[in-house]
Structure 1
Amino acid sequence: MHLDSIGFPAIAAAMIARFLPVWIALAAILLPSFKFRKRLGLYGQLLETGVGVAGLAICLFWLFTAVFADIIAPFDPLRQIVIMKNAAPGTIEPESGLPFILGGDRLARDVFSRVVFGSQIVLVIAPAATLFSLMVGTMLGLPAGYYGGRVDGVLSFLANLVLAFPVILLFYLLVTPGIRETAIPQWLGGVFLVFPIAFFVMLFWTRYASRPGLLAVQLGATLLIGGWIYAGLVFDADPLRIISIAPNELNIFVAVVFASSPGVFRIVRGLTMDIRTRDYIAAAQTRGESPWYIMLWEVLPNARGPLIVDACLRIGYTAILLGALGYFGLGLAPESPDWGTAIKESSRLLRADVHPALPPVMALMSFVLGLNLVADALREQSMKD
């Protein structure tokens, strides 16, 4: 059966039109940001350089793509339309009259829609896993760097033990189907998810211990919200069914946190060892402040610059790791539209059809590029300060 198609100019126009909600959101965010950038602190400083603007625009583009995926994508990413198998870019689907903008894959699914919905998976798992890695690494790196001695020796040994494993082998061991069927990922997730709760409990406790009324409210909210998230993510027991995570997603999440936390630990430890020699730390000690108060309210704020830069880079690394896991068949379910799985599926027939492989590759590359540009801009700004 002959299928109609549209040319390259029409393909470009259709793609631009599909991303209209993204363009509107970008304009609504960036235009006021430019106008008031002098008042926006670190975020406003990103807009002072072309590198920062480019990186921020790319990151916001994929963020809004994930938010408006249901509006942007013309087809269900899992829907198979047999007649569109390996369809060329611009081929019109007869029933709806809409084009497969970037063509169809070997299972007759719309490549464009799968790339769009794949952004949701990457922009949820990568930043969330990086945030938890920062929490775990910070809660262990601060006491290691501040106390030194035996505490530092024990924690550094554990971190170096994890870092001694090759990353891909470590991921294979944690995400392989044999491990998935055990309770190991759930137990690891239960351990790692305690750290964010402990972080905020210690943060509020050290700051507001002299104001018991305010402290009680903050600790109650922390334990309530943290317990709710903990129950939903670890035990899939959210009574409201709002927070949940599939078992294979939990495995990947735990693997990323487990592999990334030691790197954060070493950065925080090194920064703490340097900052603890400063005069304002000695002044806080003279005032009689507790060690955890000094670590969380004196050391950590002065280490935020390098940590923010590292977080941007680490999100990019995590996105690449997710792609690598998907490519090796250790990622999400085979039908998942995440970019790594899409690259793996399309690479099987790469010599015959190139078009299904290029969009997820370009999407992953551009997202990581945007994060690297943001990190470069932040690094330049921190050097000026």
Structure 2
Amino acid sequence: MAVAQPAAGRMARPSRLRRLWDNLSIVFESRVATVGLSIVMFWLLVGVVSLFWTPYPPNATEFQQNLPPNSVNWLGTDHLGRDILSRLMQGTQVILLKTRLPGDTDLVLPGGVAIWGVLGSLVVGSILGLNAGYRGGWWDQGIMQVLDALIAFPRIVLYLVAIAALGQGDLVVILAITVTGAPGVARLVRSLTLDIKTRDYIRAAETRGESPWYIMFREILPNARGPLLVDAMLRVGYAIFAIGTLGFLGIGLPPPDPDWGNMVNEARRNIFVNQWGVIWPSVAIASLVIGLNLFADGLREELSRYQK
């Protein structure tokens, strides 16, 4: 008598945890991606630790001004006598871990300004790119002409226009990053869609009578996630540079929370007296962006190798 073996079938199918580990193992097979991920994880750890502990209150002016690194202030103090290490740790939260909502400084969203800005550009860009690539015709022409017009403007000009119109704030910076990043994402998604929509499984979905929205978001977008993930890592680095640039110009994130660009802007006025106030936040910005770029490059290399 034949006996059904459902347990064997279930054991043959890998669990979600196993599939997650298989995906993560791709990263560790690349030395470049591993080094980049290690740098990013270091700054994430610094941000998480700063949620619960900093050596001193970040905005407290209780030390001598312009001190070099010493046993009390490990990274020195700035021109107002604030501990640089505490402010550097606090600035990591703004970039990667929390977003302050307007009107109430105690109300925050999980996820930093750079993360939300990139997520916004991915959502908007993916919707526009999918419609342009899959529908074609006037959809493609109209969407791409508008996006090409946005790309023609320098990014810093769009940042200044958004901040001048809406004022300073975390959500304004997120909006500016979204608007400037969405055209690039849309062009990438469009190019991927033009290739994927010629595949047989797309024809099969159309034959079944699936709607265009189903095909775009259930058939095309999941098969474009690899290049989009790599692009997202790079865009987080661009967003961090943008936040640093706006902070350096004095029009970025508002006080009281320090951001790295604003720290450089404040310290440059006393650079001949105290260089450490410029060096440490600059190193933080550069190292985090380099880590994201290394992670993205290594991930792209491994994904392309697996696709061959």
Residue range with higher mean Cα deviation, 43-52 or 106-115 = 43-52
2:300 is the counterpart of 1:379: yes
Q: Give the Cα separation in 2 of the matches to 1:172 and 1:288.
A: 46
Map of 2:65 onto structure 1: 85
Q: Structure 1 residues 37, 355: closer, same or farther in 2, change over 3 A?
A: farther
Select between 70-79 and 36-45 the one with higher mean Cα deviation: 36-45
Structure 1: where are the runs of 5+ without partners? 1-35, 92-98, 182-246
How do residues 161-310 of structure 1 correspond to structure 2 at under 5 angstroms? Answer: 161-176=149-164, 179-180=165-166, 248-310=169-231
Give yes or no for contact 1:320–1:364 (8 Å, CA) kept in 2.
yes
Contact 1:37 1:47 in 2 (8 A): no
Q: 2:83 aligns with which of 110, 125, 132?
A: 110
Q: 1:62 aligns with which of 38, 43, 50?
A: 43
Partner of 2:100: none
TM-score by length of 2: 0.85
Instruction: Give the Cα separation in 1 of the matches to 2:133 and 2:83.
Output: 51
1:336 Cα offset (Å): 3.5
- Secondary structure of the residue that 1:84 maps to in structure 2? coil
1:99-139: per-residue Cα shift (whole Å, max 9, x none)?
A: 11101000110000000010000110101110111011111
Quickly say closer, same or farther: Cα 1:345–1:37, change in 2 above 3 A.
farther
**3-state DSSP class of the match of 1:68?**
helix
1:48 CA displacement: 1.1
SS in 1 for 2:258: coil
Q: Does 1:345 align with 2:266?
A: yes
Instruction: Kindly state the Cα deviation for residue 367 of structure 1 after the two structures are TM-superposed.
Output: 0.8
* % same residue: 42
Query: Could you tell me which amino acid in structure 2 is paired with residue 88 of structure 1?
Result: P
**Residue 143 of structure 2 is aligned with which of 150, 155, 159?**
155
Q: CA deviation at 1:335?
A: 4.7
User: Are the counterparts in 1 of residues 75 and 276 from structure 2 also a CA contact under 8 Å?
Assistant: yes
Paired residues of 1:38 and 1:45 also in contact (CA < 8 A): no
Give the counterpart letter for 2:153 in structure 1: F
Aligned to 2:24: 43
The answer to whether the aligner puts 1:311 opposite 2:299 as a matched pair is no
1-structure distance, mates of 2:51, 2:171: 24
Give the letter aligned to residue 164 of structure 1.
A
2:127 aligned residue: 139
Structure 2: segments with no counterpart, 5+ residues: 1-16, 97-111
Q: Give the alignment's TM-score, normalised by structure 1.
A: 0.69
CA RMSD, 1 decimal? 1.6
Distance 2:18 2:290 in 1: 23
State the secondary structure of the residue aligned to 1:104: coil
- Does the 8 Å contact 1:114/1:337 carry over to 2? yes
Q: 1:290, 1:172 → 2: CA distance?
A: 40
Q: Partners in 2 of 1:72 and 1:309 — Cα distance?
A: 33
Structure 1 SS opposite 2:276: coil
Q: Quick one: which amino acid aligns to residue 48 of structure 1?
A: E
For the 8 Å contact 2:30–2:302, the answer to whether it is kept is no
The structure 2 residue matched to 1:100, chosen from 48, 73, 78, is 73
- 1:52-100 CA-to-partner distances (Å, cap 9, x unmatched) read 211111111111211110444211111111x421112115xxxxxxx11
Shift of 1:180: 3.0
Where 2:277 maps in the other structure, the secondary structure is coil
1:364/1:37 CA distance change after superposition, 3 Å? farther
Measured in 2, the distance between the counterparts of 1:107 and 1:41 equals 50
Q: Which residue is 2:257 aligned to?
A: 336
TM-aligned CA distance change 1:37 to 1:338, over 3 Å: farther
